[in-house]
């Protein structure tokens, strides 16, 4: 019965939940800074995106560049093209053993290893990124990042990279 339990708990005094705290409106409280922090974020110069290995055509980064601006793309993580695990630099591990890089002429970016992180400006030519690379933009557009594999051979891929894209401006 509830009345009995209430009597037993009286022995343990605790803070009254019904008492309101001292009003903080007049003070210099630090509890209302959310909106200010959001205003302080400069969007467009920097972003981090997930790059699933399955996503043929890549992922738009949200970062745009103008011609001659410097930008850096960096990648981390592990993924698979269904022939081994790969890292953004294009190195592979097969059956838990280092297997080097594998290149083929029919990859989306030929000459760059399968599994390498690649990027392009708008619909321009793909660029080899690897773990990190800084480029000077030859054109204006949004940076897209992707996993290098054969066209049409993305469906059996798994895993994802995390790519960081930074626009440094025209330094």
Q: Least distance to Ca ion from the beta carbon of 132, Å?
A: 24
Binding flags for Ca ion, 87-126, as an x/- string (CB under 5 A):
----------------------------------------
Q: Which among 16-24, 102-110, 119-127, 155-163 is the span making contact with Ca ion, rule CB under 5 A?
A: 155-163
Q: Are 87 and 96 in contact (CB under 8 A)?
A: no
* Shortest spacing between CB 154 and Ca ion, in angstroms: 6
Q: Which of 70, 101, 153, 164 binds Ca ion (CB under 5 A)?
A: 153
Candidates 82, 134, 158, 170; binder of Ca ion (CB under 5 A) is 82
The SS3 assignment for 167 reads strand
Contact present, 165 and 133 (Cβ < 8 Å) = no
Strand 158-169 to 127-128 pairing: unpaired
CA gap 127, 23 in Å, rounded: 57
Q: How many CB atoms lie within 10 A of CB 76?
A: 14
Which is nearer to Ca ion, 67 or 150 (by Cβ)?
A: 150
For residues 81 and 126, which CB has a smaller minimum distance to Ca ion in the complex?
81
Instruction: Report in angstroms how near the CB of residue 81 gets to Ca ion at its nearest.
Output: 4
Measured between alpha carbons, how far is 63 from 60 in angstroms, rounded to an integer? 8
CA–CA gap between residue 50 and residue 91 (Å, rounded): 19
Span interacting with Ca ion, options 35-43, 91-99, 125-133, 154-162, rule CB under 5 A: 154-162
Binding status of residue 134 toward Ca ion by CB under 5 A: no
Query: What are the start-end ranges of the H helices in the chain?
Result: 2-9, 34-40
Residues found near Ca ion in the complex (CB under 5 A) = 81-82, 149, 153, 156-157
């Amino acid at each position: 019965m509830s009345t009995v339990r209430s009597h037993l708990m009286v022995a343990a005094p605790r803070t009254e939940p019904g008492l309101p705290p001292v009003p903080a409106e007049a003070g210099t409280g630090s509890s209302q800074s959310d909106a200010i922090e959001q205003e302080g974020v400069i969007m467009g110069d920097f972003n981090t995106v997930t790059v699933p290995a399955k996503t043929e055509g890549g992922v738009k980064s949200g970062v745009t560049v103008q011609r001659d601006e410097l930008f850096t793309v960096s990648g981390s993580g592990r993924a698979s093209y269904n022939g081994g695990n790969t890292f953004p630099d294009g190195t592979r591990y097969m059956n838990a053993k280092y297997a080097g890089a594998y290149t083929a002429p029919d990859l989306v970016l030929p000459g760059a290893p399968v599994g390498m992180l690649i990027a392009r400006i708008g619909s321009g030519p793909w660029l080899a990124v690897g773990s990190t690379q800084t480029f000077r933009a030859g054109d204006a557009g949004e940076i897209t990042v992707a996993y290098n594999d054969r066209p049409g051979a993305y469906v059996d891929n798994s895993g994802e990279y995390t790519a960081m894209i930074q626009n440094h401006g025209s330094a």
